Amino acid sequence: MNDSAPSPTDLLSVGDVSRRTGVSVSALHFYEREGLISATRTSGGQRRYARHVIRRVSVIQVAKRMGISLSEVADVFADLPPDRMPGKTDWRRISERWRGRLEARRQEIERMENELVECIGCGCVSLRSCRVLNPDDELGADGAGPRLLPEIPTD
């Protein structure tokens, strides 16, 4: 047996992982289908998880709480060795990356909030003048009149 391979007693059932993380069995199966965690199978086909999977599930729970998508979790997990627990350095790198993500979202919310302030007491909901409804107003610079209609060839 390989020294780094977990012994059978180190492996956890899906119920064990569910109890230890508070995550439902169906969610754990979903995370496995999404490639976020992996399991081996017993001869009877039952899933067995290495203990470090608990840490991965915890990181997924943190991400969910912060509104970080599972695809972003998959991105950071792709940089981790699959056979060990994410360590302190890994977590620092992940949390710094996600902090930047939250900061970008905070700025976006602040920008939207400022735009919405202009709408308070207005109610025009006008394509011409409401920046919330038409934030980029790309056509506004071209002046009045419709410009999204297809050109009709004239012979």
Site residues for ligand FES per CB under 6 A: 118-119, 122-126, 129-130, 132
* Least Cβ distance, residue 127 to ligand FES (angstroms): 10
Task: Read off the tokens for 123.
Answer: 């109610």
Task: Read off the tokens for 122.
Answer: 């207005």
Nearer to ligand FES, 113 or 155 (CB): 113
User: Long-range contacts for 39-44 (Cβ within 8 Å, ≥24 apart)?
Assistant: 39/14, 40/11
* Least Cβ distance, residue 144 to ligand FES (angstroms): 18
Nearer to ligand FES, 69 or 114 (CB): 114
Nearer to ligand FES, 99 or 128 (CB): 128
Q: Across-strand partners of 48?
A: 40
Q: Would you tell me how many other CB atoms lie within 10 Å of the CB of residue 142? A: 8
